[in-house]
Structure 1
Amino acid sequence: MKKKNRPTLAEKADIHELYELSVQCSEAEVDFVADTYRELRAKPARLLREDFCGTANVCCEWVKRRKHNHAIGVDLDKSVLHWGKTHNLSRLKDAERKRIELINADVLRVETESPDIVSAMNFSYWLFKDRNTLKKYFERVHHSLKKDGIFFLDFYGGYDSLHEVEEDREIETDQGSFTYIWEQAEFNPISHDLTCYIHFAFEDGSRLDQAFAYHWRLWTLPEIQDLLRETGFEVTVYWQGWDEDGEPDGEFYPATEADADAGWITYITAEKTA
């Protein structure tokens, strides 16, 4: 009798778990939005809305920080929200879980309680490829926020962002290691359409190719700032600092000038002013 082959590490892997291990650092993200809001508003934020929330990892981190914190997560993908409930919300205490509301809806149409903070991270808003639609989204966020609310976004750029490139990084876990692979597969310089993939490779030689696919417009930072100002926000760009070895130090500072590096990641705050 022929022996049944054992499943490969790729076959056993959970892509959402791999994503959280290799891409998302909810602790650092919450540190930045909480500290920056307090600095700008001289009070703590209580209600955070995470747009394009995926597995709601940031929502969970937010409610764990303070007993008065509440979070709303909005995502169009019902299956990923279900994963978040099963794997992330289930780990919370009952009292924490009750302070999260997950909504399966389109961020262009959703109606929620007015939050102190709206967060749109991991370049998720780049899926809006035309100016009118992205402006509509920014207008919706402006309308949703409290009168002194702040919209937080992230952004990446640099001359490497215009190239078709592949980068990999080893991720160590308690169960072993795997390789995270980021591929900028296609870029159209006329439209700035950008197709990117995340692949994962494992110690046994197996792979998960195109575990995640992104079809974005590669916006420029001035374009985003202009659109935010047009929709009633006061905009600040927070640039990342560097350590003694020339590596990013994870600290972000308000900036109006920066070096033309090959690759960079920045945060944007958009304060509601009108």
Structure 2
Amino acid sequence: MSPETNKPDKYLLYQSSVQNPVYEVNFMRRVYRKTRGRSPLLLREDFCGTAVLACEWVRMVRGGRAVGVDLDENTLQWAAENNIARMGSKAERLELACCDVLTAENYESDIVAAFNFSYYVFKEREILLSYFRKVHETLNSTGIFFLDLYGGPDAQVIQEESREVDEEGLRFSYVWDQARYNPVTGETVCHIHFDLPGGNRIERAFSYDWRLWNLPELKDLLREAGFEKIDV
């Protein structure tokens, strides 16, 4: 519970409703082994937030190391106190870096992951290209960049979508709110709300001011950044 609101912690609700780190770790390892013929060890999780993916990587990958990069100091502090603190000695193989992904240290990573569309925060083409180039630099010679994509006609519609969540002792409704879309610029504003038992709501628990990049644009940018092979 959050002591300020006497409601469930919004970060716990987010992890339960949005993220699936076990699946993501297994998927990335499977693709990497199939493509490179060996197992990956070092993961850099960009826009890591609560670093739940980085934590799961260290738990699941024998000898694996992870770096979580994020600008939000408060969220990283929550990650340290609520996720990393429970990892015991495995926490020694995980590092949090409070910095801009555009200027983060190069780690010679096997994998860089940018999930949950967080790179959409870069609205200008040159800035997103700079980020992709930075990722290309930080990967080692056999490294792979994993990112996901949100878009299509439904993403341009002003609407709310709700689904029930019952996981890890938490029961609530996750609400995805597409609040605004500009067809001229591709900019969009979205929110996540959580509807709780008893009629309570955590309004705008998380808000996003993004540009919706489409797949051809992203493929062009990745090629320009130096990525020779792009699989969708």
Which category describes the TM-score, using the shorter chain as reference length? over 0.9
- 1:155 and 2:159 aligned: no
Structure 1 equivalent of residue 52 of structure 2: 57
SS at match of 2:109: coil
What stretches of structure 1 of length at least 5 have no aligned partner?
Answer: 1-6, 238-274
**In structure 2, distance between residues paired with 1:113 and 1:125:** 19
Residue 174 of structure 1: how far off its partner (Å): 4.7
Aligned residue pair count = 229
Name whichever of 211-220 and 66-75 sits farther off.
66-75
What stretches of structure 2 of length at least 5 have no aligned partner?
Answer: none
Any residues of structure 2 matched to 1:187-226 within 5 Å, and which? 187-226=181-220
CA RMSD of aligned residues (A): 1.4
**In structure 2, distance between residues paired with 1:38 and 1:44:** 5
Any residues of structure 2 matched to 1:79-94 within 5 Å, and which? 79-94=74-89
Check the 8 A contact 2:150/2:212 in 1, yes or no.
no
Output the amino acid matched with 1:235: I
**In structure 1, distance between residues paired with 2:104 and 2:65:** 18
- 1:107 and 2:101 aligned: yes
Output the amino acid matched with 2:158: E
**In structure 1, distance between residues paired with 2:44 and 2:169:** 33
Could you tell me the percent identity over the aligned residues? 46
Scaled by the length of structure 1, the TM-score of the pair is 0.81
**In structure 1, distance between residues paired with 2:123 and 2:6:** 34
SS at match of 1:106: coil
Scaled by the length of structure 2, the TM-score of the pair is 0.95
- 1:29 and 2:8 aligned: no
Structure 1 pair 174–28 and aligned structure 2 pair: CA distance change class (3 A): closer
**In structure 1, distance between residues paired with 2:122 and 2:57:** 26
Structure 2 equivalent of residue 118 of structure 1: 112
Residue 81 of structure 1: how far off its partner (Å): 0.5
Residue 106 of structure 1: how far off its partner (Å): 0.3
Residue 73 of structure 1: how far off its partner (Å): 0.6
Structure 2 equivalent of residue 128 of structure 1: 122
**In structure 2, distance between residues paired with 1:141 and 1:117:** 10
Structure 1 pair 56–176 and aligned structure 2 pair: CA distance change class (3 A): closer
Output the amino acid matched with 2:224: E
Structure 1 equivalent of residue 164 of structure 2: 170
Instruction: Name the one with the larger strand percent.
Output: 1
Residue 112 of structure 1: how far off its partner (Å): 3.2
**In structure 2, distance between residues paired with 1:153 and 1:186:** 24
Instruction: Name the one with the larger helix percent.
Output: 2
